[in-house]
């Protein structure tokens, strides 16, 4: 890749740092400090998280219907997103927090889908699709940044300062991307009028969509409460912030690594491995509560959740290269729908059983169910296609 291509991709990475690593997931390391100072329950935290994911659902769905001025809509979404993060540190009203997290979610969904589709289209146009996985490393990079910055800023300026500091950092990343993308011309995408044709409904979409939605429901429980769970284990409290940094560091290289594997093995086989590793990572703290088990769980979680996003969207992009915006939006919408439910269920389970273990077991079971749906759905599809081909040959 030449310097211009690298600049375009790096700008996309920074936008995902803003939308995913900071706006969306910085809530995880900040949550224990907010709960300690403000005094709200894990159930209330679940509602705040779900407000963000409801917004993400709306934004992801909305992005699928944006065909013109995609770059302008994207940049406006980033500006709004950054403001929502800064205001979280300036306002201490629960009802306003709900609205701000909703706005952060809507703009985050728009940013993720529009950035992904714009970068994928750009790389495909220049025969560089193999580099698309690097864009998703922005998620892990953002998580690592928030994991490192939050404890340091909070120690001096409390949790309010953490939101403000990350908001300022997001504004800097927006400025850098604007400069790197100054010459990027984004063509209007083609409106998908026959998006639900026989290929779209017959092949991978139904079972992959359902599997991806269940993944969103299961993984987000760990993604939302991991740091708070570890923070509330007295012997491990000192390692709670480090765990989120581990998640980010594992997630940074995971996207390109999984993408390289996608070139050598079938997507389903690699997704199978990723799902199994994620289940292990989710359930590990239930059965072992040592420093090493918690850090290993964090590593496995970071390694797999970005990987599953990368593999699923890349696989969809391969099958429908001319409909990347619509396909990514459709998948992300169901993924986001699962995320809305996850934190609410987790908060309720913790309230009923007075233990985080029930929530983690539920999350592990759901992710394993996602794996079963994917494997069985793919098997039935292959079997059906084989029968169809045999009938035609006769």
- 246-297: per-residue pLDDT in tens? 998 998 888 788 888 888 888 889 999 999 999 999 999 888 888 888 899 9
pTM of the model: 0.81
Residue 236, domain CATH? 1.20.1250.20
Residue closest to 254 by CA, chosen among 295, 312, 306 = 306
In the numeric block, the tokens 């979680």 are attached to 301
Contact between 129 and 260 (Cβ < 8 Å): no
User: What separation in angstroms does the CA of 390 have from each of 378, 380, 383?
Assistant: 18, 15, 11
Token pair for residue 341?
């439910």
Q: What is the pLDDT of residue 200?
A: 45
Calpha distance 180→202 (Å, rounded): 40
Distance of CA 222 to the CA centre of its chain: 12
Domain that holds residue 110: 3-186+195-393
Q: How many other C-beta atoms lie within 10 A of the C-beta of residue 386?
A: 10
Q: Which residues neighbour 134 within 8 Å (Cβ) at sequence distance 6 or greater?
A: 9, 13, 255, 256, 259
> Residue 185: CA atoms inside 13 Å, Cβ hemisphere, count?
2
Q: What is the pLDDT of residue 388?
A: 62
pLDDT tens for the chain, 394 residues long, are 788 889 999 999 999 999 988 998 889 889 889 988 888 777 888 889 889 989 988 998 898 788 888 899 999 999 999 999 999 999 989 999 999 999 999 999 999 989 988 888 888 888 887 787 788 889 889 988 988 899 899 999 999 999 999 999 999 999 999 999 998 888 766 555 444 444 444 444 688 889 999 999 999 888 888 888 888 888 888 888 788 889 989 988 887 888 888 888 888 899 999 999 999 999 998 888 888 888 999 999 999 988 898 888 877 777 666 566 677 778 878 888 888 888 888 888 888 888 888 999 999 999 999 999 999 988 887 787 666 665 655 5
Q: What is the pLDDT of residue 264?
A: 86
Q: How many other C-beta atoms lie within 10 A of the C-beta of residue 337?
A: 18
> How many separate domains does the chain show?
1
Q: What is the pLDDT of residue 343?
A: 84
Q: What is the pLDDT of residue 261?
A: 87
Q: What is the pLDDT of residue 394?
A: 56
Q: What is the pLDDT of residue 324?
A: 60
Q: What is the pLDDT of residue 107?
A: 96
Q: What is the pLDDT of residue 239?
A: 82
DSSP string, 51-116: HHHHHHHHHHHHHTT--SSHHHHHHHHHHHHHHHHHHHTT---HHHHHHHHHHHHHHHHHHHHHHH
In the numeric block, the tokens 């986001």 are attached to 336
């Amino acid at each position: 890749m030449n310097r211009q291509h690298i600049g375009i991709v790096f700008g996309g990475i920074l936008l995902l740092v803003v939308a995913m690593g900071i706006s969306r997931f910085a809530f995880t390391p900040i949550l224990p400090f907010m709960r300690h100072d403000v005094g709200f329950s894990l159930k209330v935290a679940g509602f705040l998280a779900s407000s963000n994911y409801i917004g993400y659902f709306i934004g992801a769905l909305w992005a699928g219907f944006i065909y013109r001025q995609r770059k302008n809509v994207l940049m406006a979404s980033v500006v709004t997103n950054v403001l929502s993060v800064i205001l979280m540190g300036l306002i201490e009203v629960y009802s306003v927090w709900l609205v701000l997290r909703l706005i952060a979610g809507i703009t985050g969904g728009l940013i993720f889908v529009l950035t992904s589709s714009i970068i994928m289209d750009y790389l495909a146009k220049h025969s560089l699709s193999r580099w698309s996985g690097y864009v998703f490393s922005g998620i892990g990079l953002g998580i690592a940044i928030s994991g490192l910055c939050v404890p340091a800023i909070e120690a001096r300026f409390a949790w309010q300062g953490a939101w403000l500091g990350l908001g300022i950092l997001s504004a800097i990343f927006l400025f850098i991307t604007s400069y790197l993308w100054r010459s990027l011309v984004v063509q209007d995408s083609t409106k998908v009028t026959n998006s639900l044709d026989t290929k779209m409904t017959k092949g991978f979409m139904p079972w992959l969509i359902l599997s991806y939605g269940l993944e969103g429901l299961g993984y987000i429980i760990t993604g939302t409460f991991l740091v708070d769970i570890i923070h509330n284990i007295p012997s491990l409290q000192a390692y709670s912030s480090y765990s989120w940094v581990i998640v980010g560091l594992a997630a940074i290289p995971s996207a390109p690594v999984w993408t390289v594997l996608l070139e050598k093995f079938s997507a389903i086989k690699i997704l199978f491995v990723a799902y199994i590793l994620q289940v292990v990572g989710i359930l590990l703290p239930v059965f072992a509560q040592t420093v090493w088990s918690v850090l290993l769980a964090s590593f496995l979680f970071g390694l797999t959740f970005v990987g599953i996003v990368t593999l699923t969207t890349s696989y969809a992009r391969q099958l429908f290269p001319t409909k990347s915006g619509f396909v990514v939006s459709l998948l992300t919408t169901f993924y986001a729908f699962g995320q809305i439910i996850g934190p609410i269920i987790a908060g309720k389970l913790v309230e009923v059983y007075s233990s985080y273990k029930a929530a983690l077991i539920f999350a592990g079971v759901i992710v394993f169910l996602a794996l079963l749906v994917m494997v069985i759905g793919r098997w039935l599809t292959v079997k059906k296609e084989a029968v169809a081909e045999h009938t035609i040959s006769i």
